[in-house]
Amino acid sequence: ANFSEQVVESFPSDISTGIYYGWACVGNGDVHKMVLSIGWNPFYKNIKKSVETHIIHTFNDDFYGEILSIVIIGYIRSEENFSSVEALISAIEEDIEEAKRQLDLPEHLKLKEDNFFHLPGGKPVNH
């Protein structure tokens, strides 16, 4: 789930590029673990900064046009280039496993229930 260019430009400029973990919610659906990439994705030679959210959940349908709410909890690693797609995929898989481990800690689990994720008047999203 990628944020629009407008949203990316509104992110605080002092957030370092890299890979983060946290919680994500689509609309008023369930809150799921997520991994977030902030940066230029050097492997793909992006010229614009992007913020890409990988929600650790399989959705039944796409959710284009829905509101994506995220809470960034921690930092995994810096942004880097990779020698191959396979190396990139391997790093992403390791990032996901690290996010799962970190988000299972009690101090991180409690943030999953934060009122931030409940949109007033929002409708549940198909999960």
Residues annotated as catalytic (active site), given as ranges: 52
**What are the Cα distances from residue 37, in Å, to 20, 28, 43, 53, 122?**
6, 23, 13, 7, 27
**Among the listed residues 14, 11, 36, 15, the one whose alpha carbon sits nearest the alpha carbon of residue 102:** 36
Question: What is the C-alpha separation between 71 and 80, in angstroms, rounded?
Answer: 23
Q: Which two tokens stand for residue 118?
A: 């409940």
Angle (nearest 5°) at CA 71 between 67 and 16: 110
Are 31 and 24 within 8 A, CB to CB?
yes
Q: Which two tokens stand for residue 127?
A: 């999960």
